[in-house]
Amino acid sequence: MTKNEIEILLVEDNATDVELTMRALRHDKLDGCVQVVRDGEEALDCLFCRGAYSARRFDQPPSLVLLDLKLPKLAGQEVLREVKSDPRTKAIPVVVMTSSVEEKDLAQSYRLGVNSYVQKSVDFRLFEERVKQLELYWLHVNEAPPPGAFLME
């Protein structure tokens, strides 16, 4: 296991999408470190170390959050807002991965501080390639934020 218990937090309510995303990730043998949460509320519990996730620690956040926008209970935009407005979670890289490229979704996500925005392509090969690129970039190319980045200022 790497330094983080959870490498990727996949926030996705659709089981088939979870399956497709996991298939895209499987090739890199990383799936053991992928945590899947099925709605916005659970995503926040996980990221804010509360409820079922109270054993988690703020200074060991996931290396990457793949966030769908259309989610039950709490929309992806709300999750993004909470994460990016709290000093303890603000530094976590969040990538919105969603079906649409509606201008207002894009604009709002960037305003809220998203790190990247990727459309889930209808073409599976393209989809697969994008997921792999994201994983490669955020987990291997990018220098992750140090633990000090997750403390209260």
Partner 1 sequence: MTEGPRNQADTWRENAALLNLTHDSIFVRDMNGRILFWNRGAEETYGWSRAEALEKVVQVLLSTEFPKPLEQIEADVLENGRWEGELVHRRRDGTHIVVASRWALQRDARGAPVEILETNNDITSRKQAEEVLRESEERNRAIVETAHEAFIAMDARGRITDWNHQAEVTFGWSRAEAMGRHLVETIIPPQYREAHRRGLQHFLATGQGPVLGKRFEIKALGRDGHEFPVELTITPVRVGSTYIFNAFLHNITVRKQAEEVLAGQKAALARTNVELAAANKELEAFTYSVSHDLRTPLRHIGGFSQILEEEFGPRMDPAAQQSLRYIQKGVQEMGQLIDDLLNLGRIGRQTLRERPTELNLLVEAVLADLKPETERRQIEWKIGQLPSVKCDPGLVKLVFVNLLSNAIKFTRHQERAIIEVGQIRVKGEQVFFVRDNGVGFNMRYVDKLFGIFQRLHRQDDFEGTGVGLANVRRIIHKHGGRIWAEAEPYKGAAFYFTLGISQENSLEKSMVVGGE
Q: What whole-number distance in Å separates Cα of residue 53 and Cα of residue 141? A: 28
Q: Given the complex with partner 1, which of 106 and 144 has the nearer CB atom? A: 106
- C-beta of 29 vs 125, nearer to partner 1: 125
**Around Cβ 93, how many Cβ atoms within 10 Å?**
20
Tell me whether residue 28 or residue 102 sits nearer to partner 1 (CB atom): 102
State the residue for tokens 């190319």.
Answer: 141
Among 106, 121, 132, 149, binds partner 1 (CB under 8 A): 121
The residue within the footprint of partner 1, chosen from 31, 70, 90, 118 (CB under 8 A), is 70
State in angstroms the smallest separation of the CB of 20 from partner 1.
5
CA–CA dist 80, 41 (Å, integer): 12
Query: Per rule CB under 8 A, is residue 108 in the interface with partner 1?
Result: no
Q: Within 2-153, where are the H helices?
A: 15-26, 40-47, 76-85, 103-112, 124-136
Eight-class DSSP state of 67: E
What's the min distance (Å) between Cβ of 35 and partner 1?
A: 22
Residue closer to partner 1 (CB basis): 39 or 56: 39
Q: Rounded CA gap, 95 and 97, in Å?
A: 6
Task: Quote the least distance from Cβ 108 to partner 1, whole Å.
Answer: 12
Q: Is 127 in the site for partner 1 (CB under 8 A)?
A: yes
Find the helix or strand (DSSP H, E) in which 109 lies: helix 103-112
Pair type for strands 8-11 and 116-119: unpaired
Residues lying near partner 1 in the complex (CB under 8 A): 14, 16-17, 20, 23, 69-70, 98-100, 102-103, 120-125, 127
